[in-house]
Amino acid sequence: MGYNVLITAPKIAQEGLDMLDARGANTITIPGYPTEQELIDLVVQNKIDAIILSIGMISANVIDAAPNLRVISKHGIGVDNADVAHATAKGIPVVNGRHSNSQSVAEHALGMIIAQMKDFRRLDKNTRGKTWEKTSFRGMELAGKHVGIVGFGGNGSRFARLLKPFGVKISVYDPYLPDSVFEKEGVTRVASVEDFISDADVISIHSPLTPESRHMFNAALIGKMKPTAYLNNPARGGIIDEDALYEALRDNRIAGAALDVFETEPPAKDHPLFTLDNIMVSPHIAGITAEALTRMATMAVENIYAVLDETPLDPECSINPDTLPDACRANW
């Protein structure tokens, strides 16, 4: 059967499109960030059976406008741009590409940290501007430092593994995992971010955006960081209070920050953070590499058809497992 599949992006990796074509899917894409009304119009006009969610928000109104909708499949990992509670209430499975871009995000996080500690951004700009800083520049080594990690799922744990050769001390806050996970990775589990906030040289965020994590890094918490410390967020906008971060960076109360995500995306062109020299930013692309895009696309399609065909699904890919057909949970 040729299902109607909405992809909320201009395109996905060709491997994913080829899989959809092989199944006779009628595929609809969108040119850019869609409004809620644009999504509603698309799901109504095309009688959408499945959504591959990349950009845009699948709100309760969009879900209600799609009576044929049987599955929402995330192109990637984070599902904060879908109303999971409403989908669950309507009996619609939400699935994701668990670990599909974890390596890419972890590498991006490590790269941003080293770039900050070595001040690559300023050195590149000044060297091109004929300022030769060989005798005056002083960078910082990552080796031997204390790194605090918030969130220890696929991205956080992969990031910790990349840190190991640097001989750093790793402290991790994640209240949702068993002790065995931390023991296996050889890291120190802490009961609260407060346990490392004042000692860590680098803090890297790898947790999902939830009501509990929203503005976790507020003025009070950022205020407890060392003035030589760096704050890194390749996870989700909204976890850091951007006004509080701006004030801390402006007043040099912390050494720097690196953001791949923002509370509103895309951010305003005149965002106050963009006026500062001690922050590095990128446009929510930490997980975007050729390899990750292929994994994200193929997993998104595989997960759609696992639900539609009622065949076994990887349990780590299910966000609301109670909505799945029994056959999808076989052998769990």
Token duo for residue 294: 């292929």
Q: What is the dihedral of CA 53, 233, 267, 246, to 10 degrees?
A: 160
108 as an active site residue: the answer is no
Marked catalytic residue, from 141, 265, 291, 316: 265
Token duo for residue 247: 């004030």
38 as an active site residue: the answer is no
> Where are the strands (E) in 138-271, listed by range?
146-150, 169-173, 188-189, 202-205, 230-233, 256-259
Question: 184-191 long-range contacts, Cβ below 8 Å, gap at least 24?
Answer: 185/152, 185/157, 185/160, 185/161, 187/149, 187/152, 187/160
- CA–CA separation, 50 vs 251, rounded Å? 48
| Residues facing 259 on adjacent strands | 233, 281
Marked catalytic residue, from 107, 284, 295, 302: 284
146 as an active site residue: the answer is no
Let me know: does 159 contact 202? Beta carbons within 8 Å.
Answer: no
Q: What is the dihedral of CA 246, 252, 258, 262, to 10 degrees?
A: 0
Marked catalytic residue, from 70, 99, 206, 236: 236
- CA–CA separation, 243 vs 219, rounded Å? 8
* Catalytic residue set: 236, 265, 284
